[in-house]
Amino acid sequence: MKRFLLTIMAIGLIAVSCNWNDEGANKQVTLAVDSRGVANGEMSSLKLLIFDSGKLGQIIDVGTAERELGSITFSLMPGEYQLWAVANAAEANLDASLGSSLSEVKLKFIKNGDYYSGDCDFWSGSTKLTVTTDGVNSSVVSLERRVAKLKTTVTNIPEEIDDIYIRVSGTPTNVTLDGSKQGTKSEVGCELDYDIDKGVATAEVLLFPVESATLNIYYEIEGVVRMGTMSIDTMLSANSIVSVGATFGLTEEFKLSFTTPVWGETTQLPDDFTLIGSEVIVQDNRPVVGTPSGVNLVSNGSFENWTDGMADNWKFQDCQDSTVVRVEQGVLSEYYALRVDGKTYLSQDIAVEERKGYMIQLNANCLNPDYKWKCTCAWYKTASTMLGASYNVGIQTENYQGATDGWVDIFDSQYFRAPVGAKYLRIEFRGYSELDSGEGVLLDDFKVYEIVEK
């Protein structure tokens, strides 16, 4: 791939350290960028980071128009500097603030739900910059690619597969600008481009270099997601491509071939990767169809039983200006209801089984238009660890509520399927108003039934 020099002119300063504002003493600097194959049109952004005595003192953002002009010029006080050029790092992908040391500046992928999106083709390079009081001040910086690419192609996909995607685990989601340190390892992934008619799915994901990783291929059949896993026991090097070619079949193995058609040297991995329809189930999206069992899993869900001024089997977090009161008037069922006033947290954990369906019925009545509250649920994998946000979509009430028109069933007695890994369903009530705002919310007749499915 041809090299070309990119020299860019007249750019705006995002930030300047205080001792560089004396324009009379500053000297003009001209910078050329050796892109080593990344064409100007392939740069979504270009930033210059200038370090003075080991601290980041200036960030220069080079716009598209300036790049196309072919000349970067800027001003600096005479002295010795370290300059870093970073291509294709949007503001969210570059963790850099004035005064930071080089080891504190990071390139990072952005989290998308429960995984990180490997979609930034980072390039960077550095050079020492000497600015003198006389003569021509110029320098050249060469860019090098900072990421590897994993290409996955799956063929012969059966028609009954509804969705297919990949995630790579064990790879860092951020690295320092100088490459001296890697951040926490997590999952980086993307959807495959699935052509149902041809039975072919393809994907490309960018990864920071790592010695080894794990490739997970997920596929969904009638709402049930299964996962096949293989180890990639080969170095994922910057500027290299690892290509995985796979053929799907119940008895036919995935055949893996690793090539580097564009970026670097060829890599071979001898292991085979099989998906035979018996992989671990990681998600179950089937609709819940059936009837409630009739056994209420909520302990003291009608708030009939009390001890020392508190409803039995409920956890009450005593905040400032918070109260719970047993009431006999305006109840929904039996003899008592619970009224919550002030800033209050009330909860109960219910043991559940993963992949089973449950009906949730939570009844509340708020007659006070000035009282803000929320009654919601969440799936937990341990008594203290909630499952990821994507697993709780639909089961959590997002917005604060106010006055209701009498008693309301917050979840409309809907059916929900416990996700894979769920051990508990937590019911939570939160009051957000001061005690002097008046009486809060009446709660009564809370029910959770397991669904006997057809």
- Which superfamily does CATH assign the domain made up of 291-453 to? Galactose-binding domain-like (2.60.120.260)
For the domain covering 5-145, report its CATH number.
Answer: 2.60.40.2100
pLDDT in tens, 221-234: 888 888 887 778 77
CATH 2.60.120.260 residue spans of the chain: 291-453
Q: Which long-range contacts (CB under 8 A, 24 or more apart) does 125-129 make?
A: 125/33, 125/34, 125/84, 125/85, 126/82, 126/83, 126/84, 126/85, 126/178, 127/82, 127/83, 128/80, 128/81, 128/82, 128/83, 129/29, 129/50, 129/76, 129/80, 129/81, 129/82, 129/83
pLDDT in tens, 417-433: 999 999 999 999 999 88
- Rounded mean pLDDT of 73-92? 91
- Rounded mean pLDDT of 250-276? 40
Look at residue 256 and tell me whether its pLDDT is greater than 90.
Answer: no
pLDDT in tens, 152-198: 888 778 888 888 888 999 999 999 999 999 998 999 988 888 888 88
- Rounded mean pLDDT of 79-108? 94
More confident residue, 427 or 243: 427
CATH 2.60.40.2100 residue spans of the chain: 5-145
Three-class DSSP category at 436: helix
User: pTM above 0.85?
Assistant: no
- Rounded mean pLDDT of 239-254? 65
Look at residue 128 and tell me whether its pLDDT is greater than 90.
Answer: yes
Residue 20's pLDDT band (cuts 50, 70, 90) = very low
* DSSP 8-state assignment for residue 236: B
The correct CATH number of 148-284 out of 2.30.42, 3.40.50, 2.60.40, 1.10.260 is 2.60.40
The answer to whether the beta carbons of residues 223 and 284 sit under 8 Å apart is: yes
Q: What is the pLDDT of residue 295?
A: 96
